[in-house]
Structure 1
Amino acid sequence: PAMGNYSLNQTCVIDDSFKYNLYGGVYSVVFILGLITNCASLFVFCCRMKIRNETTIFMTNLAVSDLLFVFTLPFKIFYNFNRHWPFGDSVCKISGTAFLTNIYGSMLFLTCISVDRFLAIVYPFRSRTIRTRRNSAVICAGVWLLVLSGGISASFFSTTNVSNTSTSCFEGFSKTVWKTYLSKITIFIEVVGFLIPLLLNLTCSSLVLRTLRKPATLCQIGTNKEKVLNMIIVHVAIFVICFVPYNSTLFLYALVRSQAVANCSLERFARTMYPITLCIATLNCCFDPFVYYFTSESFQKSLNVNPQINLDSLNKSETPLTLKTDLPPIQEELGEHTVTNGRELM
């Protein structure tokens, strides 16, 4: 089929060539903003933050995932504006893998942050042995292994297609490829990379909100309800705005491309909405730094955006336990671990 056109049958011809200028424009914006914000975030994580806990590990990996995708965008920008891929098959595969790794890696790392916040607030004492840097590093390694294996599997089919006038990348797959391989891969990444993280985020957020109704909870974690609500709003908003529309459309898109559903109007809708929702999904690279800001008080301090810090909270979050000789036993315990892993989490 010609680039930008795909026909379900002889009477249903669909033109989705508008997507090239759309992709080129959105990718240009994401490249500039994503490069600046994520490089700045990594600089803060690696060079400015004095306290590095398990949440920081998740956020650092999320920033790395965003940057890996951002670095491939110049190739995509050139391709979509020129409708020609001159960079070879290997770069095409890497570009496709980076996109899938970013989308689903972002969802999984955001879920890790959400679950970690849930444990810190709902089970501040019982989760102490679970919420460690070592366990966080192991979980991040598992996430990378999962998303890279899924991305590489899908990108195995992202070979370049050469026509008389141009070369395409990551499109123009045949009905047979969709039916035998890509539809199955799509279902797998939809369940593991989207549905499960979405349910975990919604469940953790609702349980945290229920726990915050207890006044004693706010005293234990050393923060106020407004901060926690801001965190929940940012996490849920990124999922609802960036990932829900794209993954819902992707499922429908896979159905019509594999001809599991043979309906011209439905295919026209899917082929029109898919580029739009995909562009919205790529904006998560620009939104993730808001997660760092609202989730980590240390991140805010490192940016010097909140110079008026309460001395008591500063002592709780950064003073070594051995110096807190005037605290009773339980408060001393809270001062070191729960605040570092609970309050600093936020």
Structure 2
Amino acid sequence: MAFLNHTTNGSRDNCPIDDSFKYNLYGAVYSVVFVLGLITNCASLFVFCFRMKLRNETTLFMTNLAVSDLLFVFTLPFKIFYNFNRNWPFGDGLCKISGTAFLTNIYGSMLFLTCISVDRFLAIVYPFRSRSVRTRRNAGIACAGVWMLVLGGGIPASFFSTTNVSNSSTTCFEGFSRSTWKTYLSKITIFIEVVGFLIPLLLNLACSSMVLRTLRKPATLCQIGTNKERVLKMIVVHVAIFVVCFVPYNSILFLYAMVRSQAVASCWLERFAKTMYPITLCIAALNCCFDPFVYYFTSESFQKSLSIGKVQIKADLTLKSETPLSGKGSLPSTLDEGVIAERTKNGREFILESQF
């Protein structure tokens, strides 16, 4: 969580540990995330807003995910300055904003990725029955619900991201006592862990396993007209982001909350948590750079839109050359999402991978 970003002190006399390595680590990793995250997510938003003709429900989820990443990326220059200089001159308000942005990014990313996984699950496992559910209106409601949830949890939690002024410097995200942990922070941590991490993780695993089970049936593949290898890549990317970025961070966060609130009395565990927390947080922050891979493997239209200038011309030429050769029950794989959506409305019972 953002208000844990540099949690130290507390009862350092009872369990001393030197975790000053975290400052240079945060500064270096945040610098990389800022550059890569800014470039990739701005490029992704450009594709979503200006190059895609059809903005379906999946595209809406991915657009909101990119916005969530950028909100966090824009606060990173302040965090970089703070970690390299070990002084926060930007005021208490910006300290709280940066804390909220971090929460919004981490847990918003998990929830939006979950929305994409559920949408893919419905498209593949229940392709016909889910048509009335998989609409832009419902996707918009889901996105609004995610933003309300992460902001509703992030804004109250950010009140703990206060600045502390000393003789030599001003700190942000640091120095919470055990009483604060025991009274407030541990409860907030458990709530966010369950709602923002555990439930999305279980949903992603459940949806992925049911999609894999469905893909084992050759008749199903023919019915929905999807590509098995493509869907497998989607699943691998989604699960990899959860396992690599979010599982280590949230596991250490939960452990740290337990030892800091004295629910588990162990100096060794507290030292372990304080040492591993900065490392896992940096890995979690890298999700901003990995999310564009989700866009690439989830949307065929996104892949095509990455080509500059000749995308539509090539698509039209390919469509004209391949359409006469297509069988009665199949469609060319080069059809864009607009054509797919139009023919679906006209009664064709198929769903191609570019729809999800």
Shifted more, 249-258 versus 302-311: the winner is 302-311
Superposed, 1:312-323 pairs within 5 Å as 312-315=332-335, 317-319=337-339
* Code of the aligned partner of 2:333: S
Provide the aligned length of Structure 1 versus Structure 2.
334
Counterpart among 251, 256, 264 of residue 261 in structure 1? 264
Match of 1:76 among 67, 79, 85: 79
CA distance in 1, matches of 2:39, 2:230: 26
After TM superposition, the structure 1 stretch with the greater mean CA deviation from structure 2, 301-310 or 168-177, is 301-310
Is 2:244 aligned against 1:244? Answer: no
Query: How far did residue 173 of structure 1 move?
Result: 1.2
| Residue aligning to 1:333 | 348
TM-score (norm 1): 0.92
- Over residues 198-232 of structure 1, what are the superposed CA-to-partner deviations in whole Å (9 max), with x where a residue is unaligned? 00000000000000011122123322110000000
Partner of 2:326: none
Identify if the C-alpha distance between structure 1 residues 175 and 52 changes in structure 2 by more than 3 Å, giving closer, same or farther: same
Deviation of 1:259 after TM superposition, in Å, equals 1.8
- Shift, 1:319, TM fit: 2.5
Q: How do residues 26-105 of structure 1 correspond to structure 2 at under 5 angstroms? A: 26-105=29-108
Aligned-partner residue type, residue 140 of structure 1: C
Shift in Å, 1:26: 0.1
2:172 pairs, out of 154, 169, 172, with: 169
Given residue 194 of structure 2, which amino acid in structure 1 is its aligned partner? V
Give the residue type in structure 2 aligned to 1:290. F
Name which of 101, 117, 142 aligns with 1:139: 142
Give the drift of 1:321: 7.1
Mapped partners of 1:234, 1:193: distance in 2: 19
CA distance in 1, matches of 2:122, 2:99: 35
What secondary structure does 1:314 align onto? coil
Q: Does 1:345 align with 2:355?
A: yes
Q: Which residue pairs with 1:19 in the alignment?
A: 22
Matched position secondary structure for 2:75: helix
Please state whether the residue corresponding to 1:168 is helix, strand or coil: strand
Give identity over the alignment, percent: 77
Asked if structure 2 preserves the Cα contact closer than 8 Å seen for 1:108 and 1:193, the reply is yes
1:226-241 residue pairs with structure 2 within 5 A? 226-241=229-244
CA distance in structure 2 between the partners assigned to 1:90 and 1:199 by the alignment: 35
RMSD: 2.1
Q: Distance in 1 between matches of 2:250 and 2:341?
A: 46
Which stretch shifts more, 75-84 or 159-168? 159-168
Q: Which residue of 1 aligns with 2:295?
A: 292
Q: Which deviates more, 209-218 or 55-64?
A: 209-218
Aligned AA (2:281): L
TM-score normalised by the chain length of structure 2? 0.89
- How far is 1:315 from its partner? 3.7
CA distance in 2, matches of 1:85, 1:52: 41
What is the CA-CA distance between 1:8 and the residue it aligns to?
3.9
Q: 1:198 to 1:320 in 2, by over 3 A?
A: closer
Which range moves more in the overlay, 255-264 or 32-41? 255-264
1:43-86 residue CA offsets vs partner (Å, 9 max, x unmatched): 00000011110000000000000000000000000000000000
Contiguous gaps of at least 5 residues in structure 2: 1-5, 323-331
* SS of structure 2 residue aligned to 1:319: helix
Could you report, residue by residue, the CA deviation over 1:278-332 in whole angstroms, capped at 9, with x for unpaired residues? 000000000000000000000001012996867413347432777x6xxxx9994
Q: List per-residue Cα deviations over 1:107-163 (Å, max 9, x = no partner).
A: 000000000000000000000000000000010000000000111111111110111
Structure 1 pair 214/302, CA: closer, same or farther in 2 (3 Å)? same
**How far apart in 2 are the matches of 1:71 and 1:152?**
17
8 Å CA contact 1:4–1:15 kept in 2: the answer is no
